[in-house]
Amino acid sequence: MIHPVIRVQIENSVYDRLVAESVKYAIISLPYTFNRMKIKDYKSRILNIAKGKISESIFFYFCEQNEIPVNTRKCQTPFYIPDKRDFILGREEWDIKNLFLVHKSPILSTDEYLNLPALIPSRGDWDQWSKKDNCIHAPETESVCYLFSFMKGWEDGSPFLNIELSEEQNIFLGNLIVETKKTDIPYTEKWFWSKMAEKGQGNHFKFDLKFHPELILCGIAQEKDFIKFIDLMPQSFQNNIFKTRIKNRGIELKHLSSFVSLYPHLEEKINCGKILN
């Protein structure tokens, strides 16, 4: 079943600001972020954290411009504490599941997006699928939902975002990762960034944004949809548009509802984006 897909488009100046804020958060939170994929390279880990924050920030900006009342305040935490979901909408708490794709054109067709799977990590009792019934914000919330989106991640073999750190900054972060495991007292933002500037010749960090990938909102999963999800082992999808490296529960997005189903007025008037049918 074809349903509306939202193509979010924002000004480059706003986009650049959101990226800078996301990279900054990714760097300072690195020592406190669980290394789920067991990646050894710090820059790659920072990039992964930043990519998640970028998709969140673009979505929140889109909601703000379209008067969609997402509540992020109760989900946000200090950099040293894991987030408590991504946002609350009505009586539901939500997580955004965004994946970065490999393709030549700026975006794919609606059919191509909807034939891709909506994925929730499912490697064991501790993983996200097993926690889908756990309302962190109860009794204010009654169920957990997921928003599935995609962005183009590479162009001509190069990632859309490159983060640069000096060798001294890398060493500093490595030592900090070790030290944070020995104490329950977090460092302060002021101290952290003064150290990063000291070891970066006056720069906290540098980044290069090669292009501005658009956020594509493809579908939602609510409590009633979870029964449709099936086990999916690591594999590639649609001629290597993307690959998975872990076990997930998933379903093709065409079998889920559109985000537009929650706010039908978006089909009549939408800011910072357009509807793809």
What does the pLDDT read at residue 40? 65
pLDDT digits (tens, 9 = 90+) for 150-159: 999 999 889 9
DSSP E strand stretches across the chain: 5-8, 87-89, 92-101, 117-121, 143-152, 154-155, 158-159, 161-164, 206-209, 215-221, 230-232, 236-237, 242-243, 248-252, 273-276
Given the DSSP bridges, would you call strands 143-152 and 92-101 parallel, antiparallel or unpaired?
Answer: parallel
Of the listed ranges 105-109, 149-153, 238-242, 269-273, the one predicted with least confidence: 238-242
Question: What predicted TM-score, i.e. pTM, was given to this entire model?
Answer: 0.94
Beta-carbon-side half-sphere exposure of residue 108 (alpha carbons within 13 Å): 24
Q: Is the pLDDT of residue 188 over 80?
A: yes
pLDDT digits (tens, 9 = 90+) for 40-73: 688 889 999 999 999 999 999 999 999 999 999 9
pLDDT digits (tens, 9 = 90+) for 118-163: 999 999 999 999 999 999 999 999 999 999 999 999 998 899 999 9
pLDDT band of residue 83 (cuts 50, 70, 90) is confident
Q: What is the average per-residue pLDDT within 16-38?
A: 87
Torsions phi, psi for 49 (to 5 deg): -65, -45
H-assigned helices in 110-268 = 110-114, 167-180, 189-199
What does the pLDDT read at residue 93? 97
Calpha distance 86→74 (Å, rounded)? 9
Burial of 5 (0-12, 13-18, 19+ CB in 10 A): buried
CA neighbor of 1 nearest in space, from 114, 116, 149, 150: 114
What does the pLDDT read at residue 39? 56
Of the listed ranges 22-36, 133-147, 166-180, the one predicted with least confidence: 22-36
What does the pLDDT read at residue 37? 52
What does the pLDDT read at residue 184? 84
pLDDT band of residue 1 (cuts 50, 70, 90) is low
Q: Where are the domains of the chain?
A: 5-165+205-276
pLDDT band of residue 38 (cuts 50, 70, 90) is low
